[in-house]
Structures are given as C-alpha cells and as structure tokens.
C-alpha cells in the first residue's frame, strides 16, 4: 500500500527520513532503506539538508525505490530556479518517484558552502502551486503543454511552534490552497502547543483536505540534544524535555530519547486530525522499531 | 542594472518600516489606481527625463521608508507595508519555519522577521486576511523598474490572488502576456 493509498484509506501513516551520504556511493541509502522497509510507509530523502552538500535527493530516492521502500523526494527552493525545479519533477515522475515534499530550505549561510548564491527563485507555496499546475493542468509555468503530465503526491512542511503563532495554521492553509496533499511538521516536543495548533488547523477544515503527519524526533545523545536545541532553525526544546533527557546517564540518553519519542507518538495518536507521524531519526534509524512498538502503533499496520 | 541605469543588486536584509501602518493604509486608499493617475503615469513613463527622475524619487522614498530593493512588483499593499524582498530568502509567501522564538530572522537573528512584523501590522488594522493571499512568482525582468508606474498602469493586477483553491485551475504565472508583448 502506497503512502497516498494509506492516507486515503484513513490509516495511521508512518514516515521516516534518510540523509544521503556525502560521497559517490549509494550503499548507505540502500542499507537504511532495507532496515526501515518493514516499519514505515515511506521515507524522506533529504535535499542537501542544512545546506550541506550530499548525494542528490532524486538519486537517493531512486535507490530507496529499488530497495523496496517508497521514497518522498525532498525539494528545496534554495539551490534551483523554476526551470530546474520543473525539470526535476518531470524526471522524478518519469522514473517512478511519486511523493514530492516541497520546502523553502535552510539558508546557505548554515551549511558547508556559506559563500554560495542563494537561489530562492520560487518560495515553497509557489513551488507547490507550480507542481500542482503541471500535474492537473498538464502545463509548465510558461504555459507550454506537458506530454504526458507528471503524476505526483505533493507534500509540504510547517512549523507549528515558530512565530507568529496566530498565523501558522493559516500558513498551512496557504500551502493546502496551493496544492499540498500532506504535510510533515517540525519536531513536536511540546504536545500541548501542537494540540493548540491542531485545533486551529481543524477550525480551518484542513485535515479533510491535507493529511497531517506530526514530526517526532528521537534524541540519541546529549550532543544531539544540544544540536537540536541550539542549531536547528525554528526548533524549541522545552525545559522539562531538556531536563528529562539530561537527567539520565549519558549512555542512556538514546534509550530515554526513544522512550520519549514513543510517548509522544502515543499522545499524538489521540489528537483528532493527526493522520500519522514523521520520524525525524536520520542517522538513528535502528530506533524506529522500538519507538513504534513502544507507542503501540504497529498493531494498526496491516500485514506487517 | 535596471532599465533606468541603477544598480539593483543590494543583499536582502530585513528592514523595519518607518511608515506607521495607519498612515500607510490611508495612503493606499488615496493612491489607488484611477483614471487620473493612470494618465499621469503614462505621461511620466513616456518621458525620457521624467521616467528615470520619477523612478529615482520612488527609489529614495521607498528605500528610506521600507528598505525597498526595487523588485518592480510591489507587494507592500498586501504585506502590512513590510517589504518581503528584505527576507533573506525573498519569500513572498512567508514566514519560513526558521523564525526564532523571539520573532527574530533565521539568517539575521538580531533583526525581526519581516513576515512576523507584516502579520502584526496587518492584524493590528483588521487586515490579517491579506496574509492568506497567494503571491505569484516574481518576474525577475522587472528589477529596477518603477513599481508605482506599473501599479497605476494596471500591470500589477494579479500579483496575488485568492482563487488557487483545490479545484482552481488558475496557474501561478501571470507574466506571459508580457512574454507575448515582447516576442
């Protein structure tokens, strides 16, 4: 069952994330895909995450597909203009990559080439709109016809925790208007704030038009915790979460992080309108089975 | 270089508008396109001296008031008069997900996110719904042009829209009439 089908059927979907290697080999992607295949519906393949050069998202997506795991190809607006982005969608669709996740992207300043020219020719809303237009109207931005048009399932991201709090649900509304069919959120550490955002999302009628997957991270080490708190733009780690993960001995941070993630997933399943979770576990994929078991969501999964 | 010979390459850095939001919306009502302004702007545009002069005055005024970078397709009326081209990612449908908890810009944390400020200013006057409009992709051929002349000439119509809903078949591009004009 594909991600699109599972969401259409109203099942609880699980996605995870693969960070492609910094190198010209596909092995690491294939190995991770094999590990995750039996646990998740689809896996995001990041697009030069954090503005650091990695193997291309489309190539990683193809490798995941070959390894029997459905990819979600991430596409940022940071490095390519509207010509390249449209061309990439055609290539991805032609080669069987259906899920595309559109985001603005981190600024180059934060990566390994801070001197690079930031492109940002389109923003994420405009890119979603463009891709939907290509699929539904069979035409490029220029108006030229596509034969045949691409087939794609369009995703977006949203950060429920960043200011302005009063506008974050509306902003998802803009993305849904532009074409988003599913959304993955930034890390949910504060379930109360997330639930408040979800209430606004429901008031706007968005869960009927767009599947909402809540982002859940599994902290692996104290260093990772500090990195998420201090270095990931737009992420806040609440004090009680930070204290809880610091309270255990350093060699048990990973276990406690997985327990916290499982509890969070479990709480999220209780929130009306949440269609699934997106596990932000790149580099820590072996934690996935434990998190899903701990949260008791595996029971929902048919035949696996 | 823009058409009037001025550099258009300043970096996008968030700017805090110096014009109060109430005055800005009042000016918006006074200066909205109408036949008189349309005729006047057509004459300015046709004048070899008047056009660069007018564009220069606009540049000075808008740079001082809004940190304008002369994209030539002004979004200010729909963004609480905070310039989105000062966003380091030049988002016309912001804000991005990297805004700090204090409302600071991801790239320049000591500056306020232009979209946070846009939301606050628009909402303070009951115009928060403006932020829900979908802005079309920018036409990068227009950098350096006078956006006031473009506005009064009706060339800015459709820079943003509400009609892109699920079943909307309207595409995101609006500039192809210009492509045909010039080809």
Q: What's the pLDDT tens digit per position in A168-222?
A: 999 999 999 999 999 999 999 999 999 999 999 999 999 999 999 999 999 999 9
Question: For chain A, what is the domain count?
Answer: 1
Q: Give the domain range for residue A48.
A: 3-300
CA-angle at B83, arms to A121 and B17, nearest 5°: 160
In a domain, B146, yes or no: yes
Query: What is the tally of structural domains in chain B?
Result: 1
Is B7 domain-assigned?
A: no
In a domain, B15, yes or no: no
B29 lies in some domain: yes
Q: What single-letter DSSP state applies at residue B171?
A: -
In angstroms, the CA A22 to CA A59 distance is 13
* pLDDT surpasses 80 at B55: yes
Q: What phi and psi values does residue A67 have, to the nearest 5 degrees? A: -85, 5
Q: Tens of pLDDT along A18-50?
A: 999 999 999 999 999 999 999 999 999 999 999
Tracing tokens 């048990």 back to the chain, one arrives at A252
Q: What is the CATH number of the domain that holds A230?
A: 3.20.20.220
Tell me the helix, strand and coil percentages in chain B, rounded to 5. 40, 5, 55
CA B9 vs. chain centroid, Å, equals: 16
The residues, any chain, with a CB within 8 Å of residue A291's CB and separated by 6 or more, are A216, A218, A258, A261, A262, A265, A279, A281
CA pair distance A238, A231, nearest whole angstrom: 15
Q: Cis check for the bond before A30: say yes or no (omega within 30 of 0).
A: no
Note whether A159 and A252 are within 8 A (CB): no
β-pairing, B134-135 vs A153-158, is unpaired
Confirm whether B16 is domain-assigned.
no
Of the candidate ranges A262-271, B39-48, B62-71, B151-160, the one whose mean pLDDT is the lowest = B151-160
Q: How far is A245 from chain B (nearest CA, A)?
A: 21
The token pair that represents B24 in the structure block: 């800005």
**Predicted local confidence at residue A291, as pLDDT:** 94
Whether B167 shows a pLDDT value over 70: the answer reads: no
In a domain, B11, yes or no: no
Q: Which residue of A has its CA nearest to B175?
A: A142
Cross-chain residue pair B89–A104, CB shorter than 8 Å: yes
Q: Which chain B residues have a beta carbon less than 8 Å from that of A167?
A: 95, 119, 128, 131
- Least CB–CB distance from B134: residue in A161, A178, A186: A178
**pLDDT tens track, chain A, 304 positions:** 899 999 999 999 999 999 999 999 999 999 999 999 999 999 999 999 999 999 999 999 999 999 999 999 999 999 999 999 999 999 999 999 999 999 999 999 999 999 999 999 999 999 999 999 999 999 999 999 999 999 999 999 999 999 999 999 999 999 999 999 999 999 999 999 999 999 999 999 999 999 999 999 999 999 999 999 988 888 889 999 999 999 999 999 999 999 999 999 999 999 999 999 999 987 888 899 999 999 998 644 554 4
Residue B82 included in any domain: yes
pLDDT of residue B173: 83
A interface test, pick of B120, B172, B179 with most A CB neighbours within 10 Å: B172
| pLDDT value at residue B165 | 56
- Parallel, antiparallel or unpaired: strands A13-18 and A211-217: unpaired
Please count the residue pairs, one from chain A and one from chain B, whose beta carbons lie less than 8 angstroms apart: 128
């Amino acid at each position: 069952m594909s991600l699109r089908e599972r969401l259409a059927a109203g099942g609880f979907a699980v996605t995870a994330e693969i960070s492609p290697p910094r190198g010209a080999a596909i092995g690491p992607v294939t190995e991770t895909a094999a590990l995750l295949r039996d646990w998740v519906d689809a896996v995001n393949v990041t697009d030069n995450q954090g503005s650091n050069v990695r193997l291309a998202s489309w190539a990683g997506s193809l490798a995941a597909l070959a390894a029997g795991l459905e990819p979600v190809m991430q596409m940022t607006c940071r490095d390519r203009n509207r010509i390249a982005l449209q061309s990439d969608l055609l290539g991805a669709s032609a080669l069987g990559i259906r899920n595309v996740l559109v985001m603005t992207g981190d600024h180059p300043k934060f990566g390994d080439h801070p001197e690079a020219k930031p492109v940002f020719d389109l923003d994420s809303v405009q890119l979603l709109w463009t891709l939907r237009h290509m699929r539904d109207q069979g035409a490029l931005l220029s108006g030229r016809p596509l034969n045949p048009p691409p087939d794609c399932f369009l995703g977006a991201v949203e950060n429920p925790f960043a200011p302005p709090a009063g506008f974050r649900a509306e902003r998802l509304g803009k993305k849904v208007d532009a074409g988003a069919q599913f959304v993955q959120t930034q890390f949910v550490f504060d379930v109360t704030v997330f639930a408040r955002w979800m209430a606004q999302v429901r008031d706007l009628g968005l869960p009927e038009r767009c599947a909402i997957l809540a982002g859940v991270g599994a902290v692996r080490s104290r260093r990772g915790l500090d990195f998420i708190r201090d270095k990931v733009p737009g992420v806040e780690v609440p004090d009680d979460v930070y204290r809880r993960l610091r309270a255990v001995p350093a060699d048990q941070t990973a276990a406690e992080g997985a327990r916290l993630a499982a509890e969070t997933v479990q709480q999220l399943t209780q929130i009306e309108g949440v269609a699934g979770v997106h596990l932000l576990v790149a580099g820590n994929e072996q934690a996935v089975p434990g998190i899903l078991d701990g949260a008791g969501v595996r029971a929902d999964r048919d035949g696996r | 270089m823009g058409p009037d010979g001025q550099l258009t390459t300043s970096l996008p850095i968030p700017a805090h508008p110096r014009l109060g939001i109430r005055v800005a919306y009042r000016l918006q009502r006074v200066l909205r396109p109408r036949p008189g302004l349309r005729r006047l702007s057509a004459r300015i545009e046709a004048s070899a001296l008047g056009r660069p002069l007018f564009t220069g005055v606009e540049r000075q005024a808008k740079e001082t008031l809004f940190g304008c970078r002369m994209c030539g397709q002004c979004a200010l009326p729909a963004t609480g008069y905070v310039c989105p081209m000062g966003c380091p990612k030049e988002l016309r449908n912001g804000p991005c997900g990297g805004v700090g908890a204090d409302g600071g810009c991801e790239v320049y944390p000591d500056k306020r996110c232009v979209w946070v400020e846009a939301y606050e200013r628009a909402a303070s006057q009951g115009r928060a719904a403006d932020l829900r409009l979908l802005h079309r992709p920018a036409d990068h051929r227009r950098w350096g042009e006078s956006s006031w002349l473009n506005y009064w000439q009706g060339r800015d119509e459709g820079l943003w829209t509400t009609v892109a809903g699920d079943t909307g078949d309207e595409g995101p591009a609006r500039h192809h009439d210009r492509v045909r004009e010039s080809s």
